[in-house]
Amino acid sequence: NAGVMQNPRHLVRRRGQEARLRCSPMKGHSHVYWYRQLPEEGLKFMVYLQKENIIDESGMPKERFSAEFPKEGPSILRIQQVVRGDSAAYFCASSPLGQGANTEAFFGQGTRLTVV
Amino acid sequence: AQRVTQPEKLLSVFKGAPVELKCNYSYSGSPELFWYVQYSRQRLQLLLRHISRESIKGFTADLNKGETSFHLKKPFAQEEDSAMYYCALHDLYGNNRLAFGKGNQVVVIP
């Protein structure tokens, strides 16, 4: 099991372009969480998805950000018309059940987005 | 709202010296707390969870509800302990997401 795979590891976009970040959860995991880490900050929750469903997107900015987790393929975090403030590390975590005291969340290595 | 505070950003200790990373939390329910570690060039991984009450790599952490703390301790630091450490709270009321502190950079000096 290769673990949670995120790609690309590094992504550079010009202001106004779109950024697409991919997350393939561990085999057998149907729960995916996305977190964002701004410089000098801790990880902040963005969105929680199960296959084909968004369960909680309360941490997502209302505009320009969207996420999906289709029946087949990876989860995608999409940022439209990127701005410099979107520069951050974006982490994906997966678990077989919802995260909990008895359920470990496994993290990917993250995608570092730089907006120039 | 849940909040996790790690007051010290950087902690430098000599090899063999004790390490203590402070973590305080605010949460309205019964908390479930974790420590995650990120070694250089590696992914974030679970180090400890309070519910299991075990020692991992010589680290222990005790949940103190009176002081709302979950400090991480190790009596004798090793060079391989150099890493980023994050305290996290499991938000049962928030779809089980994790709330993280800002992290501690630990540098163990040989």
Q: What confidence tens digit (pLDDT) does each residue in B65-89 have?
A: 899 999 999 999 999 999 999 999 9
| Among candidates B42, B86, B96 on the partner chain, residue whose Cβ is nearest the Cβ of A100 | B96
- Say yes or no for a CB contact (<8 Å) between B92 and A91: no
Nearest-Cα distance to chain A for B109, in Å, is 23
Contact B77, B14 (CB under 8 A): yes
Least CB-CB distance to A107: which of B6, B43, B94?
B43
Beta-strand pair B104-109/B10-14: parallel
Binning pLDDT at 50, 70 and 90, where does residue B96 land?
Answer: confident
Separation between Cα atoms, residue A49 and residue A94, nearest integer Å? 10
The residues near B55 (Cβ < 8 Å, ≥ 6 apart) are none
- Neighboring chain A residues of B100 at a CB cutoff of 8 Å: 35, 42-44
> What number is the average pLDDT over the span B1-12?
88
Q: Does residue A58 or residue B95 have the better pLDDT?
A: A58
From CA B100, how far away is CA A34, in angstroms rounded? Answer: 13
> Do A59 and B95 lie within an 8 Å CB cutoff?
no
In Å, how far is B46's CA from the nearest CA of chain A? 7
d(CA B19, CA A20): 40
Q: State yes or no: pLDDT of B25 exceeds 80.
A: yes
Determine, for residues B43 and A44 on separate chains, whether the beta-carbon distance falls below 8 Å.
Answer: no
Judging contacts by C-beta atoms under 8 Å, the chain A residues touching residue B49 are: 101, 104
Alpha carbons A80 and A60: distance in angstroms, whole number: 13
The pLDDT value given to residue B6: 95
Nearest CB among B86, B97, B102 relative to A45 is that of: B97
Which segment of A70-84, B8-22, B48-62, B72-86 scores lowest on mean pLDDT?
B48-62
Contact call for B98 and A105, based on CB within 8 A: yes
pLDDT of residue A99: 54
B 2-61 residues with CB < 8 A to A: 4, 6, 32, 36, 42-46, 49, 51
Burial class (CB in 10 A: 0-12, 13-18, 19+), B45: middle
Per-residue pLDDT of chain A (116 residues; tens, 9 = 90+): 679 999 999 999 999 999 999 999 999 888 999 999 998 888 999 999 998 899 999 999 999 999 999 999 999 999 999 999 999 999 999 988 765 556 678 999 999 999 99
Q: How many CB atoms sit inside 10 A of residue A48's CB?
A: 25
Q: How many of the other CB atoms lie within 10 Å of CB of B26? A: 13
Of B43, B51, B94, the CB nearest to A101: B51
- Secondary structure of B51-105 in the HEC alphabet? HHCCCECCEEECCECCCCECCEEECCCCHHHCEEEEEEEEECCCCCEEEECCCEE
> Three-state SS across A4-56?
CEEECCEEEECCCCCEEEEEECCCCCCEEEEEEECCCCCEEEEEEEECCEEEE
B51-64 average pLDDT score: 87
pLDDT at B7 over 70: yes
CA distance B98 to chain A (A): 7
pLDDT score at B54: 82
- Beta-strand pair A88-95/A5-7: unpaired
